[in-house]
Chains A and B, each alone.
Chain A
Amino acid sequence: MEHNTYREVGKPVRKKDAMQLLLGKPVYMDDITQGPALVVKLLRSPHANALVREVKTAAALKVPGVEAVYTWEDVPKTRFTIAGQTYPEPSPYDRLILDRHVRFVGDPVAIIAAETEKAALRAMKLIKVTYEVLEPVLDFRSAKDNPILVHPEEDWYPPCPVGGDSRRNLVASDVNADGDVEAVLADCEIVLDRTYHTKAFSQAMMETFRTYTELDRYGRLHVISSTQIVFHCRRILSQALGIPKSRIRVEKPRIGGGFGAKQTAVCEVYPAFVTMKTGKPAKLIYTREESQIAGSPRHEMEIHVRLGADRDGRIRGIDLYTLSNSGAYGEHGPTTVGLSGHKSIPLYTGNLEAFRFGYDVVYTNLQAAGAYRGYGATQGIYALETTVNELAEQLGMDPTAIRDKNMVKEGMKMPAYYNEPANACALDRCMEHCRQMFHWEEKYPVRDMGNGKVRAAGVAMAMQGSCISNVDVGSATIKLTEDGSYNLIIGAADMGTGCDTILAQMAAECMDCSVEDVAVFGADTDASPYDSGSYASSTTYITGKAVERACAELKTQICAIAAGMLDCEPTEVVFEGKQVRRPDTGEAVSLEQIGYKTQAASTQAAEATVSHSSPISPPPFMVGMVEIELDKETGLVTVLDYMAVVDCGLPINPALARIQTEGGIVQGIGHTLMEDVRYDHNGRPIGSSFIQYKLPTRLDMGRLHVEFEHSFEPTGPFGAKSIGEIVINTPAPALTHAIYRATGVWHRELPITPEKIALSRPEPS
């Protein structure tokens, strides 16, 4: 490709923390906070909807080692949101640290702090709570305008106008459109009308939610948390606790996975409250069960698609309505839903004459949802891509050919994507590449393997964004060290994704040095420049660009210092990586000399900080194809091969981009085939452990094959777009398609378990 001239960018560099992680060094929250700390435990509501009448804590407080038990009467009365979003947050202020009104099974009723876990658990058993049990709203389809209100409180407050109304159980609601969709659909030769249902899948990152808090040597609240959002977390704690931000420091150590879960301050407020009350260090580590029942999973959605086309396969109109279940609180409710339309419909910009996208986001008395990799796009793409596969099968067209005909192409303006242009789009090449690699022509026809087993294939496309346009801010500080190496300081959060490394690669490219010469630090609200955090596929694209720009500024500074040392104008010197040279005399000063110069009688710092934001959010694109073997008698689906081609612009680190893709695909396989979220008729979660909530093992995912088609995004660093989220979007529609090919049945609800396959029969056509 034409952009292969980089030294450090585009190379499969090892992650900077790789050997520390692989050799088990103590780098996570619980490893680095081994001093004495109060163990914090939460007593949780057994009811989906109830008022706390009375909490008797006397017996619990008598347990030796118990420091305190707090109830709703002890906490501040100002509502806030724990969604990690830029202020003013689209998510409603509907939370208190502890609320008298508990709204889902697992909502905290009391905070217990004790010297040992044993004492805390014993105290928990001794707390007597009297509830006034209320009827819950459990079905999200009947939540809107239900007489039972999840948030009847008077002080419910939406900081942004997103169409929410707590008197109607509405978190958000909107419709937008381009063209007259009803007229176009009426004119189409074929209109498919389909409804799809996806569940509240759990991120299930290996490190559960956890936070440590203490008062630092200035008496400020020092928070060490497994979080993707240190700055939002500081603001949330300030709001929740009613203390100024100057009194709070939030830092993250290494994080044991997030996938969006830790874009919500799920557990930070509780130990922080304990430390503020007691002055003592406090630690809260969620059990796996707590992470499963009181975390921040995907929004359950029901998506109604009407898709109009002509018999030649031209897709002319799309009408999409999403009902999203935000659960008991509104975190990320108003925003996730938007992606279900805005990051699915634009895939079919090719011939689209009109679209309409409407949604309602409702409260129910179930676990609150949050941010999960894909963030609504996953749900929308599952629905729309499956509809397109249904259309192709109904028309007897090759489903890859129908996409060739309708997909968005480079240079097109995307009306369903805020009229943004597809500056860099290799989706057509991804499709062709994947078709060749997968041997689509051979694999697409259904093959009978005997003994009830058939092999079949399915396909899907996907897109996502790169950042939240006009909102996200990424920043980088880069400074010269006296030995000629650099410190790169960021506020973005590496949660295993490798952003520390890819940002160092960019800095090394810019500064003409090696990746080893760039030490990375992040993220800490006291030390890092402001960054909205690592979410919305923004870090490579936004923070990466900030790094690129900060490096340019630093180079200018270094040249100015060198010019002073060489008695000339800055314009007369050139930066050459290890030195700055004055060509007309041949004299040069080394970076080391420049570094020492900044430390002696200097008035010029060799340090630059740049913030970056973007008015657009360039979509990465992807094609995924899967071959399965399906046992028609038992319903068992065996994934044989999953092949994918991704256009993320230029992959800054191809090894890490590939692993991101592979990891996303396997999560998607899990959601499609085995991970299930169930509640009993009282709203109690079933399957709150890894015994019941089954993640795919390495025996469940077949063989993966990932390749890339490069494009060049002019607004991204080195032409890069994002990769982290898009990769989870193709498995659900591709597998649904393959299962249809094998059985003749379209499954329109996830997960598609062996039982559903074995017991279903083809619908009469």
Chain B
Amino acid sequence: MELKLTLNGRTVTDHIEPGLLLIDFLRSHGCFSVKRGCETSNCGLCTVLMDGRPVLSCSMLAARAAGHSIMTLEGLQEEAADFAGFIADQGADQCGFCNPGFVMNTIALLREIPDPTDDEIRAFLAGNLCRCSGYDGQLRGIRRYLDSKKADASPEKGGSHGA
């Protein structure tokens, strides 16, 4: 069947099989940041934004994304780089395999709650598993980023939403 959607701001049209999962569609279109960590919707590695909302691309038919906007980390490099360096400073990237999904959901978090508490961060990211870091370094990185923004005292919001 025919699929037309907006991928990272650009219109993409392709012929797909009806059962194709969004993750496989995205990887076949060069979005290698999107990772598969389980087959059971449990790990959060495949997180992408659909119309700005974080979803699991391993659990969605590509066909359902027709007419919608999908953003992967490939399309949100600047918004991600804004805080990713703070996580790098903690060494919390570790093996990195969970990072794209975690970073994508952190983008969603910061758009929804620009100044989250630690508990809000934990709750929002609970669906992103990480086996290396023990999570605390990720939290510290986000916290340092938020602190640095406050120190800059610039009220503007980062990054615009997808096209």
Contact = CB atoms under 8 A, between A and B. Distances in A.
Contacts of A667: 131, 134
A288 B37 contact: yes
Given A22-B103, A31-B32, A665-B134, A255 B95 contact: yes
A662 B97 contact: no
B137 interface: yes
A699 B118 CA distance: 11
Per DSSP, chain A at the interface is loop
Interface residues of B, number: 51
A259 B132 CA distance: 9
A701 B122 CA distance: 11
Interface of A: 12, 14-15, 17-28, 30-31, 203-208, 254-259, 287-289, 495-498, 653, 655-656, 658-659, 661-667, 689-691, 695, 697-699, 701, 703-704
A30 B24 CA distance: 12
A703 to B, nearest CB: 7
Given A21-B99, A699-B123, A664 B93 contact: no
A653 B129 CA distance: 25
B70 interface: no
Interface of B: 32-35, 37-40, 42-43, 45, 72-74, 77, 80-81, 84-85, 87-100, 103, 122-123, 125-139
Contacts of A498: 91, 94
Contacts of B74: 24
A17 B96 contact: yes
Lowest 8 A-B CB distances belong to which pairs? Answer: A496-B95, A24-B33, A21-B96, A256-B97, A662-B134, A18-B88, A24-B100, A690-B42
Contacts of A255: 95
Given A659-B133, A689-B38, A22 B80 contact: yes
A23 B137 contact: no
A659 B94 contact: yes
Contacts of A663: 94, 131-134
A432 B79 CA distance: 44
Contact of B136 (A12, A28, A653, A704): A704
Contact of A698 (B33, B45, B135): B135
B89 A655 contact: yes
Contacts of A289: 39
A497 B132 CA distance: 8
B39 A287 contact: yes
24 contacts: A15-B88, A18-B87, A22-B87, A23-B77, A24-B32, A24-B99, A28-B35, A203-B131, A206-B130, A258-B95, A288-B37, A655-B89, A658-B137, A659-B137, A662-B134, A663-B133, A666-B134, A667-B131, A667-B134, A690-B37, A698-B122, A698-B126, A698-B135, A701-B135
Given A207-B95, A207-B97, A496 B89 contact: no
A15 B40 contact: no
A258 to B, nearest CB: 8
B56 to A, nearest CB: 12
A214 to B, nearest CB: 19
Contacts of B35: 28, 206-207, 256
B154 to A, nearest CB: 23
A208 B131 CA distance: 12
Contacts of A703: 136
Most buried by A among B72, B84, B135, B138: B135
A20 B32 CA distance: 12
Contacts of B126: 697-699
B109 to A, nearest CB: 12
A288 B89 CA distance: 31
